[in-house]
Structure 1
Amino acid sequence: MWRYAIFIGLFLVIVPLVPQYFGNQSDGARFIRPKDDRSPGTKLDQQSERSGVGRRHVVQMSPNGAYITEARLNGRRLTMLIDTGASAVALPERDARSMGIFILPSDYRIPVKTANGVVSGASATVRDLELGDVRLKDIPALILPDRALSTPLLGMSALNRLSRFHFSNDTLILVQ
């Protein structure tokens, strides 16, 4: 458990430095199934595509050098920073609440070192994660207080569930 907390702490320290470098499980959490805000027939992301070998999701590099994508977690849309240096999916508490993950104050037991110091995080599970055509189930996540994390992170707890992901020029390709 401490190894997990140390890895989470490291990525929270490194994440704020990433834009500068590139230039310009459900442990006590209670779940409520939120209403799906998706309209019938709409596509989550125009850059998603389906191939004969597997489901793919293509993400273009943003002008600041980061890979940012629209995702759907437990039926709710969320913009996430893809962070291969992050051990897990990490969510601010406000985003977790919006997708039906409610954390009690007593659930914040995992010490996490961030750029702003040590905070306590709570373990949870994202029931459904959609990235275009890619669909993942029961992804371990870490919920942090809003003051400790401003941008939701798509880390290795989700990326390891893919058959592969690779970078090609300024494009990240996720393959299920």
Structure 2
Amino acid sequence: MWRYAIFIGFILALVPLVPQYFGNQNEGAGVIRPKDERSPGANSGEQSDRTGTGRRHVVQMSPNGAYMTEARVNGRTLTMLIDTGASAVALPERDARSMGIFAQPSDFRIPVKTANGIVNGASANVRDLELGDVRLKDIPALVLPDRALSTPLLGMSALNRLSRFHFSNDTLVLVQ
């Protein structure tokens, strides 16, 4: 039984690396197509394009290999790390408070596995999330203690609302 648990743990550890493998392939490779589309949005962020197949937001890979983007969350501008390995949008408590999301100490009861171990997070909802021309509404999120998270994460609870996203060379293209 332990062999199966170790094998599954190994596979789960490799899942976040899969998009990086496809990142150096041709334009069509590594396309991830989440299920639904949402409403239009305003213009901000690195690069956006309203032509072609929908609202797009293009993010260049940073020198450290991460995809960082400017986002407007509930009207406040934040720099977020795009993390396909994160199941939800995750906000440090200080950032959540600044955008009107207030978690009480008793709300921190959801166990969350982080790189530094397991911490308790609080369930939250992001009313409005803008990434360039891409605009998403009512995104499930987690608030984590500041000691557990220093940079807000743009996780799959938001990315699943896109019609697709894909990696091409050193860019990540988000399409609504």
Q: How far 1:54 sits from its partner (Å)?
A: 0.9
* Corresponding position: 1:125 with 2:125: yes
Structure 1 consecutive aligned stretches of length 4 or more whose deviation exceeds 4 Å: none
Structure 1 gaps of 5+ residues are 1-9, 16-41
Q: How far 1:119 sits from its partner (Å)?
A: 1.5
SS in 2 for 1:85: coil
Cross-structure match for 2:5? none
What's the CA shift string for 1:114-158, capped at 9, x where partnerless? Answer: 333321100000000000000000000010000000111000000
Q: More relative contact order in 1 or in 2 (CA 8 Å, sep 6+)?
A: 2
2-structure distance, mates of 1:52, 1:65: 28
1-structure distance, mates of 2:100, 2:90: 15
Cross-structure match for 2:82? 82
| 1:15-164 correspondence to structure 2 within 5 Å | 43-164=43-164
Equivalenced residues, count: 139
2-structure distance, mates of 1:70, 1:146: 20
Structure 2 gaps of 5+ residues are 1-11, 17-41
TM-score with structure 2 setting the length: 0.74
What's the CA shift string for 1:28-58, capped at 9, x where partnerless? Answer: xxxxxxxxxxxxxx95224122114310000
CA RMSD of aligned residues (A): 2.0
What's the CA shift string for 1:7-48, capped at 9, x where partnerless? Answer: xxx89xx99xxxxxxxxxxxxxxxxxxxxxxxxxx9522412
SS in 1 for 2:130: strand
1-structure distance, mates of 2:122, 2:89: 12
1-structure distance, mates of 2:82, 2:132: 14
2-structure distance, mates of 1:98, 1:74: 10
Q: Is the 8 A contact 2:80 2:153 kept in 1?
A: yes
Partner amino acid for 2:140?
Answer: P
- From the superposition, tell whether residues 99 and 44 of structure 1 become closer, same or farther in structure 2 (CA, over 3 Å): same
Partner amino acid for 1:115?
Answer: A
What's the CA shift string for 1:77-122, capped at 9, x where partnerless? Answer: 0000001111110110001011110111111110123333321100
SS in 2 for 1:70: strand
